């Protein structure tokens, strides 16, 4: 059974420039390769918003890097001493290998 929706005019609010799309894909693929190459390595990551995280890369997929971060001493962790932080590849500004 299919649901019939009334036909309405849809206004496009944003349409990415094809050159920008190619550039973003290239950046995403480069960061993805770097993260996959350094799985299980300690890194410091800075996002475009200025947030800095330190942890171990545990996985990387086509859009995200998964970082195991430790809580500072005295910080109460709900699930234990470390958590997995998911960061969007497009928002990464700097990745520094620490060990």
- Strand, coil or helix: what is 63? coil
Residues 38-72 pLDDT 10s: 999 999 999 999 999 999 999 999 899 999 998 65
Task: Give CA–CA dist 83/97, Å, rounded.
Answer: 20
Least confident of 3-7, 18-22, 32-36, 37-41: 3-7
What pTM value is reported for the model? 0.74
Write the CA distances from 85 to 6, 10, 25, 75, 91, integer angstroms. 42, 36, 23, 16, 14
- The pLDDT of residue 4: 73
CATH code for the structural domain at 18-97: 2.30.30.100
Listed in order, strand segments (DSSP E) in 33-81 are 42-47, 52-60, 64-70
């Amino acid at each position: 059974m299919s649901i019939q929706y009334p036909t309405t005019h849809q206004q496009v609010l944003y349409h990415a420039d094809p050159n920008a799309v190619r550039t973003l894909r290239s950046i995403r693929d480069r960061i993805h390769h770097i993260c996959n190459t350094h799985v299980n390595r300690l890194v410091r990551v800075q996002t475009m918003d200025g947030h800095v995280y330190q942890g171990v890369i545990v996985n990387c997929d086509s859009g995200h890097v998964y970082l195991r971060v430790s809580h500072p001493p005295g910080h109460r962790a709900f699930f234990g001493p470390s958590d997995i932080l998911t960061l969007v590849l497009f928002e990464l500004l700097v990745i520094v290998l620490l060990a």
